[in-house]
């Protein structure tokens, strides 16, 4: 009798990192059930799997999931990516962030508890460290500086608590600066890549905050997806890992790779000069290391630059307006 295919639930599976994780799981012959309300993700991210019988998409918000939902029946792993992830909107409307990132996570945990899920792999955020010393390891003090960061950290704490009380196994991966194809192209608060790509398409200067020498630990999305699947399949349980490239790159270098005129804006309070993941622990326990070099990753994205045609075009004036709350509350 053939072995049963492993089954995974991927919350936020139509989104940026989630859809790449779905790609890898299907490649490894998993059955995959996606839970996504498509508020941040898009079905186009899954279009190449349209006829795959091993894939099921349920368009539902995690806030509305019943603890006894049959969607989680006979599932081996839950990859929990669904959540709200922007800084300024979390300052302006924190309730939405705590509802989704905390209480939504609670719903997923209850569903897992009632269905004897082997392991939950949680997409945590390195923003929990605040303005951290670098390189940053998992023992660094926690200092969330805005509601998004706090809500993601509280979601992680819930998962740890469920292990203590209900013996629910987990791995929490604190993601640093993920980038790559399928990163969100629309919406007001996209990542720096989307800001630059739209400006390049429009022949406008690239708006760089501060002097551009600030560095971010950019880690490519397929490397992130690989870490999540490794975390699930590993015998390692109930650990927190940082997940970055361990190789910070400057914003000026990013702008140079993209090409074009530059213009500089005032530095924002509460933003770190450098994010830098210490990968010592994840390398030791999960035998994971990033494979995609930064320049290669950016060039992969530039091949799809036309997908940013409908993205918002930023300039100094509308950036000042959009970040007004940032300067008000973070100064």
Catalytic residues: 148
In whole angstroms, give the CA distance from residue 103 to residue 221. Answer: 26
Give the alpha-carbon dihedral of 129, 131, 135, 136, to 10 degrees. -10
Cα 64 versus chain centre, distance: 21
The string of DSSP letters for 5-53 reads PPEEEEETTTSHHHHHHHHHHHHTT-EEEEE--SSS--GGGGGGGTT-T
Q: How many CA atoms does the CB half-sphere of 251 hold within 13 Å?
A: 24
- According to DSSP, the β-strands at 249-250 and 215-216 are antiparallel
Tell me if residue 242 falls in helix, strand or coil. strand
Decide if 82 contacts 62 (C-beta within 8 A).
Answer: yes
What are the helix and strand counts (H, E) for the chain?
12, 13
């Amino acid at each position: 009798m053939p072995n049963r295919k492993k089954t995974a639930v991927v919350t936020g599976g139509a989104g940026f990192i989630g859809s790449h994780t779905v790609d890898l799981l299907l490649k490894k012959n998993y059955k995959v059930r996606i839970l996504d309300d498509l508020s941040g993700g898009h079905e186009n991210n899954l279009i190449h799997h349209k006829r795959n019988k091993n894939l099921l998409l349920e368009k539902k918000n995690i806030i509305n999931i019943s603890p006894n939902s049959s969607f989680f029946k006979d599932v081996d792993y839950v990859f929990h990516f669904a959540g709200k992830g922007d800084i300024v909107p979390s300052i302006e409307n924190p309730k939405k962030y705590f509802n989704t990132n905390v209480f939504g996570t609670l719903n997923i945990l209850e569903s897992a508890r009632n269905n004897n899920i082997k392991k939950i792999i949680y997409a945590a955020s390195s923003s929990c460290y605040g303005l951290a010393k670098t390189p940053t390891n998992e023992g660094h003090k926690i200092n969330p500086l805005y509601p998004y960061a706090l809500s993601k950290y509280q979601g992680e704490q819930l998962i740890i608590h469920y292990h203590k009380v209900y013996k629910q196994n987990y791995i929490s991966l604190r993601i640093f600066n993920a980038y790559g194809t399928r990163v969100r192209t629309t919406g007001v608060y996209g990542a720096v890549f989307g800001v630059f790509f739209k400006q390049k398409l429009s022949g406008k200067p690239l708006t760089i905050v501060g002097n551009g020498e600030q560095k971010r630990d950019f880690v490519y999305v397929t490397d992130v997806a690989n870490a999540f699947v490794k975390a699930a399949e590993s015998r390692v349980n109930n650990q927190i890992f940082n997940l970055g490239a361990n190789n910070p790159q400057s914003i000026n270098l990013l702008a140079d790779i993209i090409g074009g005129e530059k213009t500089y804006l005032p530095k924002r309070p509460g933003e770190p000069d450098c994010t830098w993941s210490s990968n010592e622990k994840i390398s030791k326990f999960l035998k994971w290391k990033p494979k995609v070099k930064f320049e290669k990753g950016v060039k992969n994205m530039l091949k799809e630059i036309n997908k940013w045609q409908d993205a918002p075009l930023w300039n100094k004036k509308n950036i000042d307006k959009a970040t007004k709350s940032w300067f008000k509350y973070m100064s």
